[in-house]
């Protein structure tokens, strides 16, 4: 796989991954739902040695004993998480990847706390251009 690039919404923080993605994970834990304001969070896991911040600065916040969130200091876009139990790994927020079309989740974790409607998402009304204004 080619090098993977990612960035924040304002463009000040940019990164590159030179190695392969080890796993793509959907996490359904309550902490990730609260931390990211979503029904579940998707992450691409890479080796710390393969991750390089190219420019910008990140702000870090220890969310729990096992999770620190690193995000753009300018716009707040989450870039990656770290977990001392997963030393040597960077847990990239999937939404920070500039192009991830070829990547798909490998696994769902913390399914005991998964919201009961998530398995129905494919059946929901799909609006490719977003909600109409009228």
* pLDDT value at residue 132: 79
| Half-sphere exposure in the Cβ direction for 121 (13 Å, CA) | 7
Q: The pTM is what? A: 0.88
CA nearest neighbour of 96 among 61, 64, 71: 71
Residue 26 forms part of a structural domain? yes
Residue 12 forms part of a structural domain? yes
Which CATH number fits the domain that encloses residue 54?
2.170.150.70
- For the chain, how many structural domains are there in total? 1
Residue 116 forms part of a structural domain? yes
* pLDDT value at residue 134: 72
Q: What is the pLDDT along the chain (134 residues), one digit of tens a residue?
A: 578 999 999 999 999 999 999 999 999 999 999 988 899 999 999 999 999 999 999 999 999 999 999 999 999 999 999 999 999 999 999 999 998 778 999 999 999 999 999 888 888 888 888 887 87
Residue 131 forms part of a structural domain? no
* pLDDT value at residue 51: 96
Q: Are 92 and 13 in contact (CB under 8 A)?
A: no
Task: Classify residue 79 as exposed, middle or buried by CB count within 10 Å of its CB (0-12, 13-18, 19+).
Answer: buried
Residue 110 forms part of a structural domain? yes
What is the extent of the structural domain holding 96? 4-122
Residue 44 forms part of a structural domain? yes
Helix/strand/coil for 76: coil
């Amino acid at each position: 796989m080619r090098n993977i690039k990612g960035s924040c919404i304002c463009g000040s923080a940019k990164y590159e991954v030179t190695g392969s993605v080890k796993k793509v994970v959907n996490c359904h834990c309550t902490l990730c739902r609260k931390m990211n304001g979503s029904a579940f969070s998707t992450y691409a896991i890479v080796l710390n040695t393969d991750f390089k911040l190219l420019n910008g600065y990140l702000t870090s916040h220890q969310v729990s004993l096992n999770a620190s969130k690193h995000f753009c200091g300018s716009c707040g876009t989450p870039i990656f998480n770290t977990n001392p139990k997963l030393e040597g790994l960077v847990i990239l927020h999937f939404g920070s990847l500039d192009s991830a079309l070829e990547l798909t989740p490998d696994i769902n974790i913390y399914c005991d706390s998964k919201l009961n409607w998530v398995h129905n998402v494919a059946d929901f009304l799909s609006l490719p251009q977003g909600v109409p204004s009228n």
